[in-house]
Amino acid sequence: MAGHSKWKNIQRRKNAQDAKRGKVFMKLAKEIFVAAKQGGGDPETNPSLRLAIDKAKSSNMPNDNIDRAIKKATGDLDGVQYENVTYEGYGPGGAAIMVQLLTDNKNRAAADVRHAFSKNRGNMGENGCVSFLFNRKGLLIIDRSENELDGEDLMLQVIEAGAEEMETTKETYEIYTNPQDFQDVKQHLEANGLTFSSAEITMIPETYTPLEDKDGIGMVRLIDQLEDNDDVQEVYHNAEINDEVYEQL
């Protein structure tokens, strides 16, 4: 993972995603709803719900929205039944893509994802065609501009907390954990006064595919179209897109 920053790719599109805050809140509420429906409404005994709530709070989702989603899931009201679905494929230039959805209509979801791939010079593949290129990891991001930290001291804290590794970039400290250890590591570091600009369990690529010019632009447009879909919760990819591509959009 050295030399490649997942957070850097996300950060480049952050301003555009902020404009979709209402849509983001809706997706987060759906994730909270499903977690509470499956494991109960108490985050202390439901790790999936606790993770979904933490993710919502890191996106500044109001507490009222969070509480409403939990109450809806644990109440007596008949609600929509959501399914977790994952689709895989290749984008322009051969970059690998995994798309995770929560949907109440698998046929519609499959058609929408297939349309996004075909419209943007990608190809939707069979299950398993790219998932072997990713590792599931916990990822904690510390913004260096908002935290005055000594890198060596932080590394010792990270080791003590039980994380797997830490990567340092100009903008961030990126702490990687085993998914099962994510909450323990996060709570240990928070107890030491650390705050995170992002905290999630995600899919980290083993290798990256550099994209420039036409392929890079097509990839960004494909990701944007997928993320604009109400059913899509996460889009993971191994594209490494340079700054010049974003300047052309």
pLDDT at residue 198, as a whole number? 85
Alpha helix positions (H), 60-197 = 63-74, 106-119, 151-161, 182-191
Nearest Cα neighbor of 231 from 126, 86, 92 is 86
Tell me which long-range contacts 20-23 makes (C-beta under 8 A, separation of at least 24): 20/227, 20/228, 21/59, 23/228, 23/230
pLDDT at residue 170, as a whole number? 87
- Asked if residue 207 lies in contact with residue 135, where contact means CB atoms within 8 angstroms, the answer is no
Residue linked to tokens 């954990």: 177
pLDDT at residue 1, as a whole number? 38
Mean pLDDT for back-to-back runs of 10 residues, the chain (249 residues): 49 49 83 90 92 88 90 69 92 96 93 97 95 94 87 93 93 93 94 90 92 91 92 92 74
Q: How far apart are CA 21 and CA 29, in angstroms?
A: 12
